């Protein structure tokens, strides 16, 4: 974004930022003010304030693109479902829709980290300013249990426990289709999908990382909407989208997970020809994936800890709707 503009006489008295917005196609006033604050605009060769009043006849140079302000964590008064807390750690039941922390392409408001900073004021610093206290994470649309470190020694020990696979994590997932085997292990390395960068894949060897998931069928559902399977999944490794991409690789995407092939809406098959009533549909605006259980030893005392939380209301309600007989 570079260019040179001449200020006409009729622009006299206008604010510099407001005038520039009208000269640069597709730019907002906020971005113009960002350009000015980052010294990327020159008025007759000198720096200028956004509020400067033009006289007419000046030369304005735009020297580049505005750099986005750095993301940061800050305290926000957001309700939290605290399952356990002591001086070393907390266990939180995170709702779907909440980002764990800000990141590329994600806003820095409404995050779990911000809510934690409001509650505790200080967390472990090992994760840096953007991710204080965060030892592991859950996807935005995954609900359930997450461990948070409240000081640096606890963070270091928890990180070592995750690395040494000493923390047992179990998820509940509802998938499309009927899984044939009552239990199984998916041992498939995961890499970034080079065609769609927001996805992961098990089909690429270069750069792939070891990933292991163990699943057990909890319930097979033959509904008027088709076949589904409720499974529990225990993961040995914690790769990005691991459970979602592993289950999709078997041809059983997680319900609601359109990124990995699940339909946005589930429609009842049409029977009876043109005179048949409009088919019923179900939709879920999140993934049916829930971190239901955690087992680990306390990082300081060594005391065994075991936490379990039920499915959140929206998932329980979806299951009921799926299994409800036709009217």
| CA–CA distance, 221 with 214 (Å, rounded to integer) | 20
DSSP structure string for 247-303:
HHHTT-PBTT-GGGT--SEEEPPP-SGGGSPPPPEEE-SS-SEEEEEEEEE-TTT--
Q: Does the pLDDT of residue 213 top 70, yes or no?
A: yes
CATH topology of domain 165-295+302-327: Pseudouridine synthase (3.30.2350)
| Rounded mean pLDDT, 103-126 | 83
Q: Does the pLDDT of residue 307 top 80, yes or no?
A: yes
* 135 and 146 Cβ atoms separated by less than 8 Å: no
Q: Does the pLDDT of residue 259 top 70, yes or no?
A: yes
pLDDT tens digits for 137-158? 999 999 999 999 999 999 999 9
* 50 and 33 Cβ atoms separated by less than 8 Å: yes
The structure tokens 């329980």 sit at 316
**What per-residue confidence (pLDDT) applies to 323?**
86
| Rounded mean pLDDT, 175-187 | 97
Please state, for a pLDDT cut of 90, what percent of the chain lies above it: 74
Would residue 88 show up in a list of annotated catalytic residues for this protein?
A: no
Q: Does the pLDDT of residue 327 top 60, yes or no?
A: no
Q: Does the pLDDT of residue 33 top 60, yes or no?
A: yes
pLDDT bin (cut points 50, 70, 90) of residue 128 is confident
Mean predicted lDDT score pLDDT of the chain: 91
Cβ count within 10 A of residue 275: 5
Closest CA to 100 of 50, 148, 170: 148
**Pick the residue with more confidence: 121 or 161?**
161
Query: Do 70-164 and 165-295+302-327 fold alike per CATH?
Result: yes
Cβ count within 10 A of residue 298: 16
**Of the given ranges (25-29, 50-54, 75-79, 104-108), which has the lowest mean pLDDT?**
104-108
**What per-residue confidence (pLDDT) applies to 67?**
73
**HEC per residue, 173-219:** EEEECCCCCCEEEEECCEEECCCCCCCEECCCCCCCECCEEEEEEEE
In the chain, where the domains are located: 2-63, 70-164, 165-295+302-327
Q: Which two tokens stand for residue 128?
A: 């840096």
| CA–CA distance, 195 with 211 (Å, rounded to integer) | 21
pLDDT tens digits for 266-294? 988 766 666 666 778 899 999 999 999 99
pLDDT tens digits for 77-107? 999 999 999 999 999 999 999 999 887 555 6
Q: Does the pLDDT of residue 166 top 60, yes or no?
A: yes
CATH topology of domain 2-63: 3.10.290
Name the catalytic one among 139, 152, 257, 285: 139
| Rounded mean pLDDT, 101-120 | 82
**70-164: CATH superfamily:** Pseudouridine synthase (3.30.2350.10)
């Amino acid at each position: 974004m570079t260019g040179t503009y001449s200020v006409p006489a009729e622009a006299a008295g206008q604010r510099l930022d407001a005038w520039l917005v009208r000269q640069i196609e597709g730019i907002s006033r906020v971005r113009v003010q960002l350009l000015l604050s980052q010294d990327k605009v020159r008025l007759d060769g000198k720096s200028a304030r956004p509020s400067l009043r033009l006289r007419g006849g000046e030369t304005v140079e735009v020297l580049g693109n505005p750099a986005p302000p750095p993301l940061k964590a800050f305290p926000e008064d957001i309700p939290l479902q605290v399952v356990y807390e002591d001086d070393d750690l907390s266990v939180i039941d995170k709702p779907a829709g909440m980002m764990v922390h800000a990141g590329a392409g994600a806003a820095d408001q409404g995050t779990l980290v911000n809510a934690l900073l409001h509650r505790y004021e200080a967390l472990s610093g090992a994760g840096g300013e953007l991710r204080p206290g965060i030892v592991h994470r859950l996807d935005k649309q995954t609900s359930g249990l997450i461990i948070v470190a409240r000081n640096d020694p606890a963070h270091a020990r928890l990180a070592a426990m995750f690395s040494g696979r000493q923390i047992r994590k179990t998820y509940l997932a509802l998938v499309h289709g009927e899984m044939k085997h009552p239990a199984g292990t998916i041992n498939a390395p995961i890499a970034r999908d080079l065609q769609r960068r927001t996805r992961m894949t098990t089909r690429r060897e270069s750069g792939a990382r070891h990933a292991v998931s163990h699943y057990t069928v909890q319930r097979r559902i033959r509904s008027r909407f088709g076949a589904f399977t409720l499974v529990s999944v225990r993961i040995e490794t914690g790769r990005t989208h691991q459970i979602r991409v592993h289950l999709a690789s078997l041809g059983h995407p997680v319900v609601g997970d359109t990124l990995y092939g699940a339909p946005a809406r589930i429609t009842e098959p049409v029977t009876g020809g043109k005179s048949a009533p409009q088919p019923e549909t179900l939709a879920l605006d999140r993934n049916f994936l829930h971190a239901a259980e955690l087992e680990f030893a306390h990082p300081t005392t060594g005391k065994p800890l075991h936490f379990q939380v039920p499915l959140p209301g929206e998932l329980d309600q979806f299951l009921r709707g799926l299994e409800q007989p036709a009217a």
